[in-house]
Amino acid sequence: MDGGFAPPFVNLAKNQTRGIVQQLNDGVRGFMLDIHQTPDGAILCHNSCTLVSKPVALNVDVQRIVDFLRANRSEIITVFLEDYVSADVLRAELRKVQGLADVLYRAEGVRQNGWPTRSQLQNANKRLIIFTDHGKDGREDSGVLYQKDWTVENHWSMGSGLGSSDWSCFSRWDEKPLTATGNFQPLFVMNHFRDVPFTGTATTDNGKLANRAQQFCQPAARKKPNYLSVDLYHLGNAAQAVGLLNSYVYGP
């Protein structure tokens, strides 16, 4: 991945081993990026930025995404920020991205009218959605969306890196159940990974992604997931699960 990990031990079990550009070329359209604040701004790194080997600024990877969208007018991309920076730093980082305003989607009217279709996003050229998990403090004026307002998400871990896994799907946020209770339908982020992303376990888990979605997570949320989040996406054929889930309409 771009950015880096805190040495020495986290480097042994990376969530992804391929950078943003290759992920985009491989068909990945959703990214979970951890950003931490340093004297240089918002830096991509997981757990800690101390002694990170290859620091990459947030604006660098967002620029790569925007450039990809410019070159591929039918594509739609979502970024989920695990956000540990100040609002001013985030605003400054996003201002550095050339062409961001042209493609950034701001979710205007969604609560009244529902989510737009893919074709509507494509026609409006608003094809990049950025969520932040940071508490509300005004950073939303830069165009990022406060994630809890717009999504539901199951608990992030299926267990440790080895051994049996817990396939149950329950809300990551206790105060917000997976099943929507009002007219507004939040987007459903399905997490499917463990505490530690060992290669062999991730390969096996990713091969069972569609099965877990169909047996456990769709019934729990009463809808198909809009996003599938996995470690080491290139192992276990997670793309096959995406294709399968896109092939039918789920009805509880």
Peptide bond into 219 cis (omega under 30): no
Domain with CATH 3.20.20.190 in the chain: 1-147
Q: Please give the structure tokens belonging to residue 56.
A: 């990459």
Q: Please give the structure tokens belonging to residue 219.
A: 């019934």
| pLDDT per residue as tens digits for the range 44-64 | 987 667 666 678 999 999 999
The β-bridge partners of 146 are 132
Residue 248 is predicted with a pLDDT of 86
Distance of CA 226 to CAs 55, 72, 188, Å?
30, 21, 5
Predicted TM-score of the model (pTM): 0.94
Contact 178, 221 (CB under 8 A): yes
Residue 128 is predicted with a pLDDT of 98
Residues of the chain with pLDDT under 70: 1-13, 47-48, 50-53, 252
Check: CATH 3.30.70.20 for 1-147?
no
Residue 40 is predicted with a pLDDT of 83
For β-strands 128-132 and 145-146, DSSP reports them as parallel
| pLDDT per residue as tens digits for the range 1-51 | 555 555 554 455 688 888 899 999 999 999 999 999 988 889 998 766 766
Phi, psi of 34 (to 5 degrees): -90, 130
Residue 249 is predicted with a pLDDT of 86
The β-bridge partners of 5 are 46
